[in-house]
Structure formats: C-alpha cells, structure tokens
Amino acid sequence: MADTAHAKAHEYHLVDPSPWPALGSFSALILAVGAIMFMHELGGGGWVLAAGFVMVLFTMFVWWRDVVREGEYEGHHSTIVQLGLRYGMVLFIASEVMFFVAWFWAFFNAALFPTAEIGGVWPPDGIETFDPWHLPLLNTIILLTSGVTVTWAHHALREGHRKQVIQGLALTVLLGLTFSCIQAYEYVHAPFGFTDGIYASTFFMATGFHGAHVIIGTIFLIVCLIRASLGHFKPDHHFGFEAAAWYWHFVDVVWLFLFCGIYWWGGA
C-alpha cells in the first residue's frame, strides 16, 4: 500500500527542494557587485569578483551534477521532461541570439552612420584593422570543422558507436581549444586597444563575448566527453549531448556573422 501511495501518476518530474537556485541568484549578485567594484577601481573589487566567480562555478557544478543524476541514474527524464528541457535550451539560445544582436547593433550603427567625432569615416582614422584572410579565416575553418566533428559524434551516438562518439568529441574539444589560443594570440598582437574608440570597443566586446562562449562550449563538450567515456548517453536518451551540440552550432553561426560583418565588411 505504501508503494501504491508513492507511485508516480504522471510523466512529469517534480524536483525535490533544492538550495541551488537561491545560491545561484546570490552568487550572480556577488559576481555583478564585484565586477562593478572592479571596473570602478574600488578597493577589494577584485576579491569580490573572484569570490562571485567561484561561487557561480560551484553552483553550476552541483546543480548540473544533480540534473545528471536525475536523468542518468534515477530515470526522472521521461519523454515529456526531455521535451521541456529542449524547450528550455531553445529559449536559452534565443536569449543568447538577442545578446549578440545588441553588440552587432552597436557596431553597425557606428559603421553605417559614422559621426563627426570619429571623422565621418569607417573604420575611424588611425585604426588599423585585421586582415580577415589571415588568422580570422584560419579560425573560421577551425570552427566550421569542429561543427563537422561534433555532428559526426552525434550521429555516431544515435547509431550506438561509442568509440566514434569519444573520437568526435575529443577532436571537437581540441579544435575549440585551438580556436581560443589563436584568438588570444590575435588579441595580444592587436594594433589597437580596448579604449581606442568605438571601433575597438565594439570589436572587442563582440568577439570577446564570442570567445567566452567558445570557452564555455568547450567546457560543455569536455563534460560530455567525460560522461561518454563513463558510459553515459544512450542512442535514444542523450539530451545532455544534444544541448552541447546545439550550443556549439550556435557558436559556429555567430562566428560566421562576426567574420563576415566585423572582420570582412566592417574592416574594409
């Protein structure tokens, strides 16, 4: 009778009371306050920023650890629950699209209507832009190739070829790390600094936030690689992998817009 009383009468998953949403909100607040203090050069701002960053990382780790346990070991991720997770990931990527729209808007507003303050020309006088057919083109090839390898891994997973899944993910992670290293090299050797006018600011904000997304996506894929090595994911139950693949393809598409709009057109 006790088993009958506790039997699940629906396909939805009612999450147990969790401290992580509250901790995540508080951590984000500490991170934001620390960032403001650091940018305004207030005393202790760096320490507050570091503390908030560590708290956010910890929250992400323990929260997603619980989600993995619920789906992989406790069997809570039914078909309906997976559908809800997919909707959530789609909405998250949509919000990320609008985030990048803001930076593109700022760049194209300045480029299409250059003001007298910057000489009425674009790029502004004194700005030496990057050659789009050098490192930016190389990074484009690397990132598009990584999209191919993660798709290969996805198809291998759906066919049940776990060895190929691991190989495809390993190649994708390697390509993502290579992209980040080349981007860092480009920044170090940039002929302009962050505060050198509207071109420099919008360039570094747009490409820099994309670089941060590449790093986040690479970590996402590393986690998937570890999980695949541990035997996680099934051909018909692998939303964690799908979410990582969707995110990585989003990063690919954003880079194509960055390459064509900012490196090529915007620097011409």
The CATH number assigned to the domain holding 64 equals: 1.10.287.70
200 within domain boundaries: yes
Instruction: Please compute, for residue 190, the number of CA atoms within 13 A of its CA located in the half-sphere on the CB side.
Output: 21
Instruction: Examine the pLDDT at 6 and tell me if it is beyond 80.
Output: no
168 within domain boundaries: yes
The residue out of 76, 102, 133 marking a domain boundary is 76
Distance CA 196, CA 234 (A): 51
13 within domain boundaries: yes
Average pLDDT over residues 173-181: 97
**Are residues 195 and 63 located together in one domain of the fold?**
no
What would the two tokens of residue 164 be? 């190929």
**Are residues 117 and 184 located together in one domain of the fold?**
yes
pLDDT in tens, 186-233: 999 999 888 888 999 999 999 999 999 999 999 999 999 999 999 999
Instruction: Please compute, for residue 263, the number of CA atoms within 13 A of its CA located in the half-sphere on the CB side.
Output: 22
219 alpha-carbon distance from chain centroid: 9
Contact 200, 193 (CB under 8 A): yes
Distance CA 251, CA 239 (A): 18
1 within domain boundaries: no
**Are residues 91 and 64 located together in one domain of the fold?**
no
Provide the whole-model pTM: 0.88
The residue out of 41, 76, 111 marking a domain boundary is 76
Among 122-131, 188-197, 241-250, the range with the most confident prediction by mean pLDDT is: 241-250
What would the two tokens of residue 25 be? 């909100």
Contact 49, 31 (CB under 8 A): yes
Q: How many residues appear in the chain? A: 268
**Are residues 56 and 183 located together in one domain of the fold?**
no
The CATH number assigned to the domain holding 95 equals: 1.20.120.80
**Are residues 156 and 242 located together in one domain of the fold?**
yes
Question: Angle at CA 46, nearest 5°, toward 43 and 47?
Answer: 95
What would the two tokens of residue 248 be? 């990585």
Question: Angle at CA 185, nearest 5°, toward 168 and 209?
Answer: 70
**Are residues 157 and 221 located together in one domain of the fold?**
yes
Distance CA 130, CA 145 (A): 22
Contact 95, 87 (CB under 8 A): no
**Are residues 104 and 184 located together in one domain of the fold?**
yes
User: Based on C-alpha coordinates, what's the Rg of the chain?
Assistant: 22
The residue out of 46, 76, 106 marking a domain boundary is 76
Which pLDDT does position 116 carry in this prediction? 84
Instruction: Examine the pLDDT at 178 and tell me if it is beyond 70.
Output: yes
Average pLDDT over residues 127-140: 93
**Are residues 189 and 211 located together in one domain of the fold?**
yes
What would the two tokens of residue 187 be? 């920044």
pLDDT in tens, 25-68: 999 999 999 999 998 988 888 999 999 999 999 999 999 899 89
**Are residues 61 and 99 located together in one domain of the fold?**
no
58: domain range? 7-76
2 within domain boundaries: no
**Are residues 106 and 65 located together in one domain of the fold?**
no
Structural domain total, the chain: 2
Q: Which of 4-13, 26-35, 219-228, 245-254 has the lowest mean pLDDT?
A: 4-13
Question: Angle at CA 138, nearest 5°, toward 242 and 193?
Answer: 100
Residues 6+ apart with CB under 8 A from 233: 157, 165, 224, 227, 240, 241
**Are residues 143 and 16 located together in one domain of the fold?**
no
